[in-house]
Amino acid sequence: MNDPSLGKIKGNKNKKIIVKPAGYYDSDLSVSPENLKKNELEKFVSLLNDIKDEIDLIYINPLEIASIDKEKTEAFKGKLIFNSESADYVIVDSNADSSQKTLTHTSSSPSLSSASALSNSSSSTSSPTLLDKNSVTSKYGIYKKVKSNEDIHQIKDYLVSNKLSFVIIDLEDWRIIPLENIIASLQSTSIEIFAVAKSIDEVETLFTVLELGVDGVVISIQNSDELKQVSSIINKSTFEIKPAVIEEIVDVGMGERVCIDTVSMLSRGEGMLVGNRSNFLFLVHNESIGSSFTSPRPFRVNAGAVHCYTIIPGGTTNYLSELESGSQVYIVNDKGIGRVVGVGRAKIESRPLKLFKAKINEKEYGSIIVQNAETIRFLGEDGSILPVTHAKKGDSILVYSKPPTGRHFGMEVTNEYILEK
């Protein structure tokens, strides 16, 4: 369950990837594209079936897939977005005459009255769609090129007054500021904001504008590797990392700690957020740095004692002892940029442990218990590496902190009395 109260953790769990055939050369979605060549369509269908679990929506003319073998259309089911009543997300023509009442299954944009007719009726005289989908369940929205602030005001008024579900925004030269204005104006609604991405490099910006980002991007991809690039951007999150001062260090004797071996190579400056309290987590560095006695293990984080918390995708927490092969965790760098990685294995072993207490201010403080060894390291305020064996009272280290709340099976509970020591 995603936790909206996790401060500046910016999770992207519900972001949508909307793929468009590379053969649709015109990025203007108000223009009905020419049909793909047979080899282009076959290549696109093959790609979609390989990546169908990784994509959310597909921008393609439903009439194009009529010639495809039915067993190959599973990747399209429930995922079509196009200016056709046969789509699941129907792009309506905002400039159409509102008196138009006829529904047709063509590539031309259906009118707003078509959307209203289907939305307000439990039955329709329309023929079944190509994918045997019930048209009544479709969502309706518009595509709009934004050139001025006046366009933004018109978009909001139009979407809200006509009870539409989404908007696809196409921006030209000025991209960030107009998008910020659109997101700000629609953030109190349930309207989904999609944006046309001109390249993969642009995707991260679109997903992080105003720390909210758009709800989805429309992008042409050529292969599965490009999709992986987009997916890795979506899986990033942002954490507000702050410096805290170590106030106390105590040897606590033997206990069990958890060593997390991930399935990814970790870089200098990256680690896991771990702590005795879910609202105050220490940035524990990975083992990409070796020593005179140990080789680097750049996939590993010696995270902490079995009872410690760490944040997992979705905004909930796990105890370190709950992590196992196949689990997912956040890896976060000293700038607060997080990414989701898989756990290859979690090793629980008895080791000598040490307690660290740190404090930001009178309301933000916490502690962590980690193995007492040179290979376990914090990150200093300046990004420097600080082995726990060298850390001392007064040192400033990086943590993630937010006001204290209770947790019930990992989910945050507000307004609950809680005192942790």
Tell which wins on pLDDT, 377 or 178: 377
% the chain with pLDDT above 90: 42
pLDDT at 105 over 50: no
* pLDDT at site 200: 84
**How high does pLDDT run on average in the chain?**
82
Question: Would you state the structure tokens that stand for residue 421, as one six-digit string?
Answer: 């020591």
Amino acid at 50: D
Sequence-distant (6+) residues with CB within 8 A of 276 are: 307, 308, 309, 366, 367, 368, 369, 420
Question: Would you state the structure tokens that stand for residue 377, as one six-digit string?
Answer: 């390291």
Read off the pLDDT of each residue in 143-149 and give the average, rounded to a whole number: 85
pLDDT at 329 over 80: yes
User: Sorting pLDDT into bands at 50, 70 and 90, what band is 113?
Assistant: low
* pLDDT at site 7: 40
Question: Would you state the structure tokens that stand for residue 29, as one six-digit string?
Answer: 């979605």
Read off the pLDDT of each residue in 184-201 and give the average, rounded to a whole number: 88
Tell which wins on pLDDT, 297 or 188: 297
Residue 58: closest CA among 94, 88, 15: 88
pLDDT at 310 over 70: yes
Tell me the pTM. 0.56
Tell which wins on pLDDT, 262 or 289: 262
Read off the pLDDT of each residue in 46-56 and give the average, rounded to a whole number: 87
Local structure of 65: helix, strand or coil: helix
Sequence-distant (6+) residues with CB within 8 A of 283 are: 241, 271, 272, 273, 332, 334, 378, 379, 397, 398, 399, 400
* pLDDT at site 274: 98
**Pairing assessment for the beta strands 216-220 and 16-20 based on DSSP bridges:** parallel
Question: How many of the other CB atoms lie within 10 Å of CB of 221?
Answer: 22
Residue 108: closest CA among 82, 88, 129: 82
Helix boundaries (H) for 280-415: none
Domains of the chain: 16-235 (3.20.20.70), 241-413 (2.170.16)
Amino acid at 320: L
Q: How far is 365 from 281, CA to CA, in rounded Å?
A: 9
